[in-house]
Structure 1
């Protein structure tokens, strides 16, 4: 059904890389959510009041808040689609992340409110009226919410949206909470055991726990989380696939919202090659990233001496030797400046963010390793921090 809806209501639905199409997906998902949640709220609110069930009324309020979350998502996609301006040259894509954070906060608030009202019902229990209409409404709600969870998850993954992924989790929580409400009503009717308040509290605690996780997931991109190992490896492998590229390092990826990522990296190429040809190749790599991946990449050219076997052997040996400290450590930009009494060996060393050694301690360790093997050298080491996943 999701595919049928997308085909009929999202124009150019196959071009998910287009920001305009991506916005259409988000807005369509928001409208579907608003309609479904408002109808469920009205139906469950009415049956909850008539049955005297705090858990059903709370479930109806939950649907109303879900509709508010859908409105927030709709607004987030609309604001995120605004073009760049002089004050925001990278666009407004992070509005979508903010919308996801608001949705997560609403989920958390709903859980806290449900726990409070359920505790009141535990302290002052009242019987819940049971009838076929109640069972039908709650069962219908479970079916609709199952479909909404699958619908939002499918579209969220299709366009890479944290906001819709959060909405899908919220719908899944609704399935669990409504199922628990229905179960407590059946138990109360069959065994005359009043579980309404207890079930409501348990569901509320689960929603609080889920809300905390959603807040964490939506805050991470706003704080500047490391790019995924898959993206890091894709960028590295693509750069290395071009003839003449010897290595790449100092990769940085900046996320200004879904579909608005910028990256920079250094590319090592033979110093003996024609610099105009090397520059032309770098331009082609940057353009290919933009055309193929929608990723704006800026590359810096690092010339590497390849016709001196002594320097090449030293670079390879040091690069392997430093891995005794930590397998993730790498070196780059090595060059030698020989003198009458010693040779300055100048290079950069990439320090993983979570390495226990400080910059100075790492510099001393690496320097000792180099001088033990090459006693007539003086290492001049610059410590670089890694700004990408340690899985690189």
Structure 2
């Protein structure tokens, strides 16, 4: 008797995950240190807000390393379905870290806005922001490419966060440039950066809660699952389906009707083909197929 789900190691996938983690962690540490020093020297509220965002990115990176390491561990008797739920759990913890960074950025910017702001000298802040935007743009391209190869929603979210950081750096850049004409533009830009952080917090929290609470697939995905299954030769129709997220991937329970005159071996081959095709869908981890003869439907809900 098998007590845990089937598991096949994927060395290439593990290698790509490690590369993404190194890029993310190293890039965010460099940017956090650089921005913090520049914000301290220049006194820019916008740059301080951007530095707070980078500090939260470092925390996110560390959590992501731990979460993906746990999520990639094979199933065991304690976690027979695997450890994939560790990924969104860590993502939710990171969301709280991001929220604190947003609070700090907003608090600092509002305090400076109340006192009228101050003119920020050109030079170091501008150079740092342009450097940060260039680094984040490079990280976005690299992580997005890896995310597509390994089909990881966590890395896709990380890539999107990197793109968002390019935009927040641009907002801080505009604030520093405008502070020479109107000093409060710098703290206003800092508030804009804080808003971007809170927006990322909302999206990340919503996504990770969906994965943790066993939410079902979207209507579009459900229709796609039915279409894939019903195209398998031998399947007459799908009459019952349940989907839920176990971590960032879907588990499917499918009840299909077949010709009752099929042999057990023939029906088993059809069942295996359904499973194989469904597992080729990007959001699907595994599928369990229940076979029923035509004209008989399970009365269970």
Q: Tell me the residue number matched to 2:159.
A: 168
- TM-score by length of structure 2 reads 0.84
Which of 277, 280, 292 is the aligned partner of 2:265?
280
Q: Does residue 292 of structure 2 align to residue 302 of structure 1? A: yes
Alignment of 1:241-390 (within 5 A): 241-258=231-248, 261-271=250-260, 273-274=261-262, 277=263, 279-289=264-274, 291=276, 293=279, 296-305=286-295, 333=297, 384=301
8 Å contact kept, 1:27–1:78: no
Q: Tell me the residue number matched to 1:186.
A: 177
Alpha-carbon distance between aligned partners in 2 of 1:231 and 1:193, rounded to the nearest angstrom: 50
8 Å contact kept, 1:101–1:219: yes
Structure of higher CA gyration radius: 1
Alpha-carbon distance between aligned partners in 1 of 2:12 and 2:245, rounded to the nearest angstrom: 20
Deviation at residue 83 of structure 1 after TM alignment = 1.4
**Are residues 223 and 19 of structure 1, via their aligned partners in 2, closer, same or farther at CA, if it must alter by over 3 Å?**
farther
Q: Tell me the residue number matched to 1:130.
A: 121
Alpha-carbon distance between aligned partners in 2 of 1:137 and 1:280, rounded to the nearest angstrom: 66
**Are residues 246 and 153 of structure 1, via their aligned partners in 2, closer, same or farther at CA, if it must alter by over 3 Å?**
same
Deviation at residue 73 of structure 1 after TM alignment = 0.9
Deviation at residue 250 of structure 1 after TM alignment = 1.2
Deviation at residue 182 of structure 1 after TM alignment = 1.3
Which of 215, 219, 229 is the aligned partner of 2:209?
219
Which of 71, 75, 92 is the aligned partner of 1:84?
75
Q: Larger relative CO (CA 8 A, sep 6+): 1 or 2?
A: 2
Alpha-carbon distance between aligned partners in 2 of 1:42 and 1:296, rounded to the nearest angstrom: 42
Query: CA RMSD of the aligned region, Å?
Result: 2.6
- TM-score by length of structure 1 reads 0.66
Alpha-carbon distance between aligned partners in 1 of 2:271 and 2:234, rounded to the nearest angstrom: 15
**Are residues 125 and 21 of structure 1, via their aligned partners in 2, closer, same or farther at CA, if it must alter by over 3 Å?**
farther
Structure 1: gaps of 5 or more residues = 1-16, 306-331, 334-347, 349-381, 385-392
Alpha-carbon distance between aligned partners in 2 of 1:281 and 1:296, rounded to the nearest angstrom: 21
Which of 137, 145, 158 is the aligned partner of 1:146?
137
**Are residues 234 and 60 of structure 1, via their aligned partners in 2, closer, same or farther at CA, if it must alter by over 3 Å?**
same
Which of 181, 195, 204 is the aligned partner of 1:205?
195
Q: CA deviation digits over 1:256-311, x for unaligned, max 9? A: 2356x54322221233x15xx1x223321333355553654333232235xxxxxx
**Are residues 188 and 133 of structure 1, via their aligned partners in 2, closer, same or farther at CA, if it must alter by over 3 Å?**
same
Alpha-carbon distance between aligned partners in 2 of 1:43 and 1:174, rounded to the nearest angstrom: 15
Which of 18, 29, 32 is the aligned partner of 1:27?
18
Q: Counterpart of 2:55 in 1: which secondary structure?
A: helix
Q: Counterpart of 2:179 in 1: which secondary structure?
A: helix
Q: CA deviation digits over 1:124-162, x for unaligned, max 9? A: 345344133322221111121122233333333332322
Alpha-carbon distance between aligned partners in 2 of 1:251 and 1:76, rounded to the nearest angstrom: 30
Structure 2: gaps of 5 or more residues = 1-7
Q: How many matched pairs? A: 289
